[in-house]
Amino acid sequence: MKRVLTRENVVRLLLLVALGGTLYKGFMKTPEAASWLRPRDFFNGLVNDGENTAIMKERHRDVLEATDKAVRVRLSELRSGVYKPAKGSLVDEESLTRAIRKDQATRERAVDDEVRAWEKLERARRLEAAHWRMGLGCAEAGEGGKP
């Protein structure tokens, strides 16, 4: 008589169960499944991600502003004669001026990033308030009808 419960069959069964669990967890992370089957967790994740992104971008902007202030103070100290760089130092008036220009561009980009992060958070909150669900089909692209 042939044994059904062999070591190989048990390993195969465990692998199939693990594969099924992996497929289920992966499917539940897609917006198509999560927005329908676990909407509370889906929207909590969207809003939480939006909040974290906005906070991170705000902190990044704060650090850039503090860096810019420090460089500006160093430049004013250099110009007034309070700070004298050591011989061979890479810090001079030209390098501090370049740093300020670079900081300005970086800060402007950081402000844009922060605005986009807050927009992302608001978009997630609007989707949650509207009880949005993602469909399984693809919507038509473009403004016009079919050609």
Q: Is 131 left (phi over 0), alpha (psi -120 to 50) or beta?
A: left
Q: How confident is the model at residue 147 (pLDDT cuts 50, 70, 90)?
A: very low
Q: How many residues does the chain have?
A: 147
User: In the structure encoding, which two tokens stand for residue 102, read together?
Assistant: 């670079």
Tens digit of pLDDT for each residue in 79-118?
999 999 888 889 899 999 999 999 999 999 999 999 999 9
The pLDDT tens digits of the residues spanning 51-71 come to 999 999 999 999 999 999 999
pLDDT at 138: 66
CA distance 98 to 90: 12
The pLDDT score that the predictor gives to residue 1 is 63
User: What DSSP line would sit under 61-115, residue for residue?
Assistant: HHHHHHHHHHHHHHHHHHHHTS--PPTT-S--HHHHHHHHHHHHHHHHHHHHHHH
65: Cβ contacts below 8 Å, ≥ 6 apart: 107
pLDDT at position 13 is: 95
pLDDT at position 140 is 61
Question: From CA 25, how far away is CA 27, in angstroms rounded?
Answer: 5
More confident residue, 121 or 136: 121
pLDDT of residue 15: 97
